[in-house]
Amino acid sequence: MTVRRPRLNTLRIGPAGQEAVVLVHGIAMDNLTSYYFTVAPLLAAAGHDVVMYDQRGHGRSERPATGYHLEDFTDDLAALLDGVDTAGPVHLVGNSFGGTVAFDYALRHPDRVASLLAVESEPPTAAWAVKMSRLLADTANRLRDERSLPWLEHAYGPHEARHARRARPLLRATTIAEDIAASRIPAEERWRTLDLPVLAVYGSTSDLAGTAPWLESLLPDCRTHQVAGHGHSVLVGDPRAVGALMLDWIGTGHRHRAEGLRV
């Protein structure tokens, strides 16, 4: 049986035929504009073929009522890249949940990935699935009341708060929270086989910053970097710093093995 994939809104900027950078955004209160208004123009101006898209249920992409397991998002990325003519393996950039999708894709298709740069993200684990599902369900409950928006801004930053109203249909009218909890999660030992260069970027005040030592010990070729004075919204909060890291990483940084090195 052929399963119809939802229509995905895509945007491509920069010179075609050059090294491709694929940008994967976060979940619920996010879409491709978080890249379009921050680092995407910088990457394109540097000569990269930049591909962005709205993940299923987000932005201008279709919003099915069901089908929000992690593997559904990963399969969307695979289908997108199957239909995009690129000049070889791509550099994957993922923000928050988008980084988790990028990790999952890289584990399943390592030959198609030149490097991975994850911003405020982590590989999928059983604990991650439980945490994410609870967060989505809790956010859906809070979004029932307009007065919840100040809480969202305090917890996640002004960028996410601006997208809160748009996230309501996804969080309240789909099975996304339940599906994330029921996602297929790779066994932890499989991550030790991911022999690809990985850079993980965190805001220094983020709860995820403490993930860095574990990630460095788990992945064969992983470096981490903290952007001072920022939390989970570091991509939007300091696009100049994050963009500079991306340009250095995609340019030459990913070619240096991690042994004995830390960005």
Question: Which whole number is the average pLDDT over 93-109?
Answer: 98
Mind listing the pLDDT tens digit for each residue in 170-222? 998 999 999 999 999 999 999 999 999 999 999 999 999 999 999 999 999 99
d(C-alpha 215, C-alpha 122), whole Å: 8
Point out the least confidently predicted range of 60-64, 145-149, 193-197, 231-235: 145-149
DSSP tag of 254: G
User: What string of DSSP letters covers 169-218?
Assistant: HHHHHSSHHHHHHT-----GGGGGG--S-EEEEEETTSGGGGGHHHHHHH
Task: State the pTM of this model.
Answer: 0.92
Task: Map out the domains of the chain with their CATH numbers.
Answer: 10-253 (3.40.50.1820)
- End-to-end alpha carbon distance in the chain: 47
